[in-house]
Amino acid sequence: TYNAIRTLSTGAPDIQRLTVFGGGLMGAGIAQVAAQAGLKVAIADLSDQALENSRNIITKSLTRIARKKNPDDSAAQKQFVDGVFANLTTTTSAQEAIADSDLVIEAIVENLATKQELFRRLDGMADPKTIFASNTSSLSIRKIAEVCSDDRRKRFSGVHAFNPVPQMKLIEIISTSETQPEITEALLDLCKRMGKTPVQCADTPGFIVNRLLVPYLLEAIRMVERGDATAADIDTAMKLGAGVPMGPLELSDFVGLDTLSHIARGWREERVQTGEIDAKQVEEIKILDKLVSEGKKGRKSGEGFFNYS
């Protein structure tokens, strides 16, 4: 049976139990950071293999953190990692994953129809009080939420974390015209409990960071395609000339060339016609499509513009 959501002193929901759908690069990171902050977290994905991948991503990250915390004490390192995993469960059953959940964060493939299909299914399964959120990079929160009931849309928000989640302090919180203020308040409180700095922005393409970052990444890929410079020299130039920690091609590999391609396609299909995005910014790029079609998705598949194996 579902216990009523506890509330903060202000009356806003107190989020203590989180379900993450999609345990990939981002979902695993979000689940890890929430579990580290003491929440009970369930990760749901499509297969045991995908869940194994989630656990591996989290183990690798926690081990790095544990070694920094207790460099000479392997017992303390193991205790730290085991302690976080004690807050984490993984399942391929959506029903099991959302039972007793205060908040569901979706971090599945960057495709509007797929996200809508998942939320449509969950809306009929989750407790009426459960808050729904999407970690989408670029899609409209309003459009993702439109498949949910009136009451659920009042408890629907964008919660956009950054890669790698354990390291990046920013989370963008995106409300729609229907999101209730106490839901936004609950999410801002959760961000702070997870050691993150939240910002709020309108439900526009790419919110703040990606509106500026994605056109830059796509233009860098066009630069490679035109032969203006090599991927390595473009990255070196931006690190030494603009002070970024990763060059745009390494960062594209890090984000995932598949995800970047999904973002560009989503804007081409949804946001050019509304006049929000300039068609030239998201024109198809042959070299990007070719890499993705060859399964070269970047760091997560071992190869993209650079080789990681």
Known binding-site positions for NAD(+): 22-27, 45, 110, 115, 137, 163, 300
Q: Is 136 in the site for ligand NAD (CB under 6 A)?
A: yes
d(CA 219, CA 126): 42
**CB atoms closer than 10 angstroms to residue 72:** 7
The one-letter amino acid code at 151 reads D
Q: Catalytic site residue 160? A: yes
d(CA 184, CA 173): 8
What is the maximal distance between C-alpha atoms in the chain?
61
Q: Indicate which residue of 137, 140, 175, 261 is catalytic.
A: 137
Known binding-site positions for CoA: 61, 68, 137
Tell me the CA distances in angstroms from 278 to 135, 216, 269, one per residue in order.
24, 13, 12
Site size toward ligand CAA, by CB under 6 A: 18
Taking the complex as a whole, how short is the minimal distance between the CB of residue 75 and ligand NAD, in angstroms?
32
- Of 128, 212, 134, nearest to 173 by C-alpha is 134
Q: Is 213 in the site for ligand CAA (CB under 6 A)?
A: yes
Q: Indicate which residue of 138, 157, 172, 175 is catalytic.
A: 172
Ramachandran region, residue 105 (left: φ > 0; alpha: ψ -120 to 50; beta: rest): beta
Residue 125 binding: pick among ligand NAD, ligand CAA, none (C-beta 5-8 Å cut-off by kind)? none
Would you say 213 or 229 has its CB closer to ligand CAA?
Answer: 213
DSSP result, 3-65: PPPPB-TTSSB---EEEEE--SHHHHHHHHHHHHTT-EEEEE-SSHHHHHHHHHHHHHHHHHH
Known binding-site positions: 22-27, 45, 61, 68, 110, 115, 137, 163, 300
The footprint of ligand NAD on residues 259-278 (CB under 6 A) is: 259
Q: Is 68 in the site for ligand CAA (CB under 6 A)?
A: yes
Q: Give the one residue of 6, 64, 78, 286 binding ligand CAA; rule: CB under 6 A.
A: 64
Would you say 181 or 245 has its CB closer to ligand CAA?
Answer: 245
The one-letter amino acid code at 304 reads G
Taking the complex as a whole, how short is the minimal distance between the CB of residue 209 and ligand NAD, in angstroms?
9
Residue 80, Cα to own-chain centre: how many angstroms? 24
Residue 66 binding: pick among ligand NAD, ligand CAA, none (C-beta 5-8 Å cut-off by kind)? none
95 CB contacts (<8 Å, ≥6 apart)? 125
Residue 24 binding: pick among ligand CAA, ligand NAD, none (C-beta 5-8 Å cut-off by kind)? ligand NAD
The footprint of ligand CAA on residues 117-146 (CB under 6 A) is: 137
Tokens of 199: 């910002």
Q: Give the one residue of 91, 116, 163, 184 binding ligand CAA; rule: CB under 6 A.
A: 163
Q: Alpha helix locations (H) across 180-282?
A: 181-193, 209-226, 231-242, 248-255, 257-270
Q: Give the one residue of 39, 107, 126, 187 binding ligand NAD; rule: CB under 6 A.
A: 107
| Interacting residue ranges for ligand CAA, rule: CB under 6 A | 61, 64-65, 68, 137, 162-164, 166-168, 209-210, 213, 245-246, 251, 255
List, by residue number, the catalytic residues.
Answer: 137, 160, 172, 210
**Could you list the residues that contact ligand NAD (CB under 6 A)?**
21-27, 44-46, 50, 107-110, 114, 118, 135-137, 161-163, 255-256, 259, 300
